[in-house]
């Protein structure tokens, strides 16, 4: 398994270097007149310097992280970071070797522009090809669980995957067999080493309490001897814990289970600046001409106002007036005779003809940029739910209220991961909330950019869950 990953790494690196070489040669041919006037900078020197800059930048920004672990949007963000770093370092190095760098400027700019345009397509097609190969060979990561604490929960997700990486649960190893577990029982801890050789497992997940120090140390030792990857399943999730932060008080390690990145005022400030700048650009350059078109279509197809305004819970459960383009016939009820919120569905008769298109493309959400500008919402965050739905979910869904620790967003981590639209089952709602909480726990500026890119891609492709 490690060998395959290294091959994958080098193939991607070599493809990029070959692409860089082709783009540079094309750039030099196009600007041949300027290139000839440069004080002797051999083609080989520039390309090798570019290779070195690219490799160092790619290592720093983790460009060659396994694509089965990250979505394409995250790879694009890493790529753009590498392109910028590559440009800056390359210019600096060439400046040291040429006092006429200004005459070389057109080639360098065209070269990096070509990289920015061509490499995303190359990487996309590489993903398509590797996904096809994985599908043909049905690549799976074989896992053994040690301990019964999570085994039954994991067995309910036998198709568990992360970007096409399949996990096959071979079975569970424990000193005592759990009769209620649906996972195959392989044997006791004394048999673990033999089982690792026999099953050729790729990874061991330890599901034991941290108090079982002796057992855990023994398992680690066995896995090291058999060269098997090992990970611990955390028990902190039972507390609804965020990403754990460890502090030291008087020589004792203290685990903070309620620290989130956006608790930091500096992070809040930069996220707010990003919200304002992005919203202003959108409202000036897109919404200004798109709004009249949508408004006319809404007025032509049904009577009533252009906007739909609804109270929802925002940061710390404060009420906000969430704006949308109206997609239902004016006067349509949001709750039934018992006061229960009516979920929208694919063939909902309340939705207008133009409303179906607006919902499918998520254009109906665009007025919420005004909510972002006035501070009630953020560009990225958990989607605000109608208050009746929030009240209903609050009683049934674990950790539901934690999503209100940050401002709600126009789009979010749950939406770009396919968790949007009507919620038919409680499990679907729990999955959505888990994704929202993961975002709150792992917020970063790079993650926000990734979600923006993925949202744009989803809007272009269309979302089957949007209705």
Q: Does one domain contain both 331 and 219? A: no
Residue 424 is assigned to a structural domain of this protein: yes
Q: Residue 203 and residue 199: Cα distance in Å, rounded?
A: 11
Express as a percent the part of the chain with pLDDT over 90. 24
Q: Tell me the pLDDT tens digit for each residue of 408-463.
A: 999 999 988 888 766 667 888 888 998 998 899 888 888 898 899 888 888 777 66
Q: Does one domain contain both 183 and 208? A: yes
Look at 160-164, 186-190, 393-397, 439-443 and tell me which has the smallest mean pLDDT.
160-164
Domain with 17, as residue range(s), is 2-137
18 or 209, greater pLDDT: 18
306 or 8, greater pLDDT: 306
Q: Residue 50 and residue 92: Cα distance in Å, rounded?
A: 11
CA-CA-CA-CA torsion sign (401, 404, 405, 409): positive
Centre a 10 Å sphere on the Cβ of residue 174 and count the other Cβ atoms it contains: 21
> What is the pLDDT of the chain when averaged over all its residues?
80
Q: Does one domain contain both 278 and 425? A: yes
Which CATH number does the domain housing residue 224 bear? 3.40.50.720
Express as a percent the part of the chain with pLDDT over 70. 78
Question: What is the chain's Cα-based Rg?
Answer: 27
Residue that finishes a domain, picked among 183, 211, 233: 233
| pLDDT at position 39 | 41
Looking at the structure of the chain, the number of domains it has is 3
| pLDDT at position 157 | 44
With 90 as the cut, is the pLDDT of residue 115 above it? yes
With 50 as the cut, is the pLDDT of residue 164 above it? no
Look at 278-287, 339-348, 377-386 and tell me which has the smallest mean pLDDT.
339-348
Q: Residue 123 and residue 15: Cα distance in Å, rounded?
A: 9
Nearest to 241 by CA among 448, 393, 445, 440: 440
Q: Does one domain contain both 407 and 301? A: yes
Residue 400's alpha-carbon distances to 133, 195, 436, in angstroms, are 39, 41, 9
Query: Are β-strands 245-249 and 252-256 bridged in parallel, bridged antiparallel, or unpaired?
Result: antiparallel
With 60 as the cut, is the pLDDT of residue 35 above it? no
Residue 105 is assigned to a structural domain of this protein: yes
Cβ 104 vs Cβ 94: under 8 Å: yes
Q: Tell me the pLDDT tens digit for each residue of 364-399.
A: 999 999 999 999 999 999 999 888 888 888 888 888
With 90 as the cut, is the pLDDT of residue 298 above it? yes
Residue 378 is assigned to a structural domain of this protein: yes
Q: Does one domain contain both 43 and 174? A: no
Nearest to 463 by CA among 379, 365, 381: 365
Nearest to 13 by CA among 52, 43, 71: 52
With 70 as the cut, is the pLDDT of residue 146 above it? yes
Grade residue 160 by pLDDT with cuts at 50, 70 and 90. Answer: very low
| pLDDT at position 447 | 86
365 or 347, greater pLDDT: 365
Centre a 10 Å sphere on the Cβ of residue 59 and count the other Cβ atoms it contains: 11
Residue 239 is assigned to a structural domain of this protein: no
Q: Residue 1 and residue 68: Cα distance in Å, rounded?
A: 13
């Amino acid at each position: 398994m490690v060998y395959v990953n290294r091959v994958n790494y080098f193939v991607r690196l070599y493809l990029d270097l070959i692409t860089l070489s082709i783009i540079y040669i094309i750039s030099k041919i196009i600007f041949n007149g300027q290139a000839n006037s440069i004080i002797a900078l051999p083609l080989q020197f520039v390309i090798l310097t570019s290779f070195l800059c690219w490799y160092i930048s790619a290592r720093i920004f983790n460009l060659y992280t396994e694509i089965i672990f990250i979505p394409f949007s995250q790879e694009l963000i890493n790529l753009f970071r590498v392109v910028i770093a590559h440009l800056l370092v390359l210019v600096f190095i060439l400046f040291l070797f040429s006092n006429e760098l200004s005459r070389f400027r057109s080639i360098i700019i065209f070269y990096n522009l070509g990289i920015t345009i061509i490499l995303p397509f190359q990487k996309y097609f590489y993903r398509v090809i590797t996904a096809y190969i994985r599908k043909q060979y049905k690549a799976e990561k074989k896992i053994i669980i040690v301990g019964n604490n999570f085994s039954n929960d994991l067995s309910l997700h036998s198709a568990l995957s992360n970007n096409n990486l399949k996990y096959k649960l071979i079975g569970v190893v424990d000193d005592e067999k759990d009769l209620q577990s649906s996972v195959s029982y392989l044997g006791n801890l004394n048999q673990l080493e033999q089982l690792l050789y026999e099953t050729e497992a790729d990874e061991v997940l330890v599901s034991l309490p941290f108090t079982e120090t002796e057992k855990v140390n023994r398992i680690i030792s066995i896995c090291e001897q058999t060269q098997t990857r090992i990970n611990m399943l955390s028990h902190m999730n039972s507390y609804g814990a965020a990403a754990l932060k460890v502090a030291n008080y008087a020589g004792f390690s203290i685990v903070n289970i309620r620290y989130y990145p956006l608790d930091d005022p500096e992070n809040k400030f930069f996220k707010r600046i990003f919200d304002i700048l992005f919203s202003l650009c959108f409202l000036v350059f897109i919404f200004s001409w798109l709004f009249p078109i949508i408004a006319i279509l809404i007025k032509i197809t049904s009577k009533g106002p252009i906007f739909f305004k609804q109270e929802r819970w925002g940061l710390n459960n404060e009420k906000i007036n969430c704006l949308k383009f109206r997609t239902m016939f004016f006067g349509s009820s949001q709750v039934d005779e018992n006061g229960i919120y009516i979920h929208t569905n694919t063939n909902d008769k309340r939705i207008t003809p133009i409303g179906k298109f607006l919902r499918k493309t998520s254009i109906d959400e665009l007025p919420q940029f005004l909510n972002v500008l006035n501070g009630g919402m953020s560009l990225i965050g958990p989607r605000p739910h109608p208050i009746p739905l929030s009240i209903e979910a609050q009683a049934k869904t674990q950790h539901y209220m934690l999503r209100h620790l940050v401002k709600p967003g126009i789009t979010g981590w749950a939406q770009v991961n396919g968790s949007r639209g009507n919620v038919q089952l409680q499990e679907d709602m729990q999955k959505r909330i888990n994704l929202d909480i993961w975002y709150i726990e792992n917020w970063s500026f790079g993650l926000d950019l990734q979600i923006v890119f993925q949202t744009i891609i989803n809007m272009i492709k269309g979302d089957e869950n949007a209705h």
